[in-house]
Amino acid sequence: MGNIIAIVGRPNVGKSTFFNLLIKDRDAIVDATSGVTRDRHYGQSDWNGIEFSVIDTGGYIENSDDVFEEEIRRQVQLAIDETDVIIFMVDVVNGITPLDEDVARMLRHSTKKVFLVANKTDNNQQIAFGDEFYRFGFSVYCISAINGSGTGELLDDVVKEFSATEIEQTELNLPKYAVVGRPNVGKSTFINALLEERRTIVTDIPGTTRDSIYTRYNRFGFDFYLIDTAGLRKKGKVHENIEFYSVMRSIRAIEDCDVCFLLIDAVNGFEAQDANILRLIERNKKGVVIVSNKWDLVEKENNTHKVFEKAIKEKTAPFTDIPVVFTSAINKQRVLKALEAGQAVYQNRSLKITTSKLNDVMLPLVDKFHHPSVKGKEINIKYITQLPTPFPAFAFFCNLPQYVKESYKNYLENKIREHFNFSGVPIQIFFRKK
Ligand code: GDP
Ligand code: GDP
């Protein structure tokens, strides 16, 4: 696991006050809707040089005790399932309430490390009030989220848990997928179809942008991170320029992922704006699956999907070696099939071909169709090798790399694609002097 803290507790104990204290002036991802409902807040912080993520599990509806209870229970379960350390917040002003008892009961049955934090201990006289909470059976920390007292001692002990838990390398190496596309094509619906319950965790993955949200998905034999751009939508004043904002979000998600699910609206087909996003994906050398969503709205005959696929590929040309899946996210139809395609593309993107195999296959094809001579000079390709890059790139060594024509480069790329499976993956080809 990563270094993730969840703050749980009944409303009004000071969870968000403490959350804000922790993340200081850093970026938090928050729900803009205030008032009746409140959603989770995510942020990053550090203490004694150890970085961690914080989730303020928020989410409740005011003035309805039933909903409170159920919602709080859901949040506590989420914290138990998905985080490493739980801060169970109560307050010394109100003392123990029935809701506190409920939360304590759930946490006692979990194996997670729990810190019971008695908040609103604004002065030393109040420290004695914290004593009653010892009966929950957790170590008690008296703090004041408002003036910060006691928080240093708490964090000293919290981060001790983290230095003990090393982040597993395998976990960082999991595939990272992003769902991108124009507004309204069904990205959120697609993500929700996958995640079912709205559970989102923050993980700090080195080398990636801070404010992407990574949700680990390991079900049905899949194991990967989904970059949740739908969550990012909630940041800041987004209503001003939704189109621009959605492009920014796509760029960030594309940069951070290995493979993109490019969602398009099946009814409208592959449009100019979809093409722009595809170019971005290509430029970033990321894998791609085209997901033609809202397939339920299309009137179908026998070969409709073939006709649609052909029409899409006419628009994506020259990059046509892309898997296309037709989904109905709203009916959860073929969403897992899209995942399978994503997984295959991820594997294709990391495919490494030995130099001997590559030369055995490609040199005869070079012989069969020679580069036409330029200014009376022969262009001879001597050998080919795949470069040790995270995306497929090939170096063709030849006598006159500067004369190689784009059309010949396309010929070579097509032949590579015919013989090796790079479906959904942009390929780089370089010509080098030998
Ligand atoms: P949440 O619902 O648990 O997230 O609680 P909030 O963070 O919104 O805080 C609820 C109320 O308690 C607000 O009016 C805060 O100003 C107040 N509060 C939070 N922390 C403290 C504290 O340490 N001392 C005092 N006196 N009030 C606090
Ligand atoms: P986003 O802006 O790309 O995240 O799109 P949303 O997920 O918010 O979906 C936009 C609208 O399309 C919503 O009204 C959805 O209910 C609807 N929608 C999403 N997926 C499908 C689908 O597969 N079929 C149909 N008929 N509607 C869908």
Report pLDDT for 322: 98
Atom number, ligand 2, closest to the C-alpha of residue 263? 3
Atom number, ligand 2, closest to the C-alpha of residue 333? 23
Summarize pLDDT for 250-274 with one digit per residue, the tens: 777 887 799 999 999 999 999 988 9
- Mean pLDDT over 275-282 rounds to 88
Q: Which residue among 7, 8, 12 has the greatest number of ligand 1 atoms within 8 angstroms of its CB, and so is best to mutate?
A: 12
184 CA distance to ligand 2 middle (Å)? 6
Ligand 2 pocket, residue 364 CB under 6 Å? no
Q: Which residue among 330, 332, 334 has the greatest number of ligand 2 atoms within 8 angstroms of its CB, and so is best to mutate?
A: 330
Taking alpha carbons only, the member of 255, 422, 180 closest to residue 322 is: 422
Ligand 2 pocket, residue 40 CB under 6 Å? no
User: pTM for the complete prediction?
Assistant: 0.59
100 CA distance to ligand 1 middle (Å)? 16
- Mean pLDDT over 342-358 rounds to 95
Taking alpha carbons only, the member of 78, 1, 6, 14 closest to residue 42 is: 6
Atom number, ligand 1, closest to the C-alpha of residue 147? 23
Taking alpha carbons only, the member of 374, 392, 184, 179 closest to residue 271 is: 184
Strands (DSSP E) found in 272-402: 287-293, 324-326, 381-386, 393-398
Among all bound ligands, the one having the nearest atom to the CA of 293 is 2
CA 61 to chain centre: 28
- pLDDT confidence band for 62 (50 / 70 / 90): low
Summarize pLDDT for 177-231 with one digit per residue, the tens: 999 988 889 888 898 888 764 444 444 444 443 345 677 788 788 888 888 654 4
Could you tell me if 278 and 324 are in contact, meaning their C-beta atoms sit under 8 angstroms apart?
no
Nearest protein Cα to ligand 1, atom 20: 14
297 CA distance to ligand 2 middle (Å)? 11
Ligand 2 pocket, residue 186 CB under 6 Å? yes
159 CA distance to ligand 1 middle (Å)? 24
Buried b (16+ CB within 10 A) or exposed e, 117-135: bbbbbbeeeeeebbeebee
328 CA distance to ligand 2 middle (Å)? 9
Ligand 2 pocket, residue 185 CB under 6 Å? yes
- pLDDT confidence band for 46 (50 / 70 / 90): confident
Nearest protein Cα to ligand 2, atom 22: 294
Among all bound ligands, the one having the nearest atom to the CA of 183 is 2
Q: Which residue among 179, 180, 182, 184 has the greatest number of ligand 2 atoms within 8 angstroms of its CB, and so is best to mutate?
A: 184
Q: Distance between CA 256 and CA 258 in Å, rounded?
A: 7
Ligand 1 pocket, residue 59 CB under 6 Å? no
Nearest protein Cα to ligand 1, atom 2: 12
293 CA distance to ligand 2 middle (Å)? 8
Neighbouring-strand partners of residue 383: 397
Buried b (16+ CB within 10 A) or exposed e, 284-309: ebbbbbbbbbbbeeeeeeeeebeebb
Nearest protein Cα to ligand 1, atom 6: 14
Taking alpha carbons only, the member of 30, 395, 55 closest to residue 204 is: 55
Summarize pLDDT for 92-105 with one digit per residue, the tens: 999 999 889 999 99
DSSP run (H or E) holding 106: helix 98-108
Report pLDDT for 184: 86
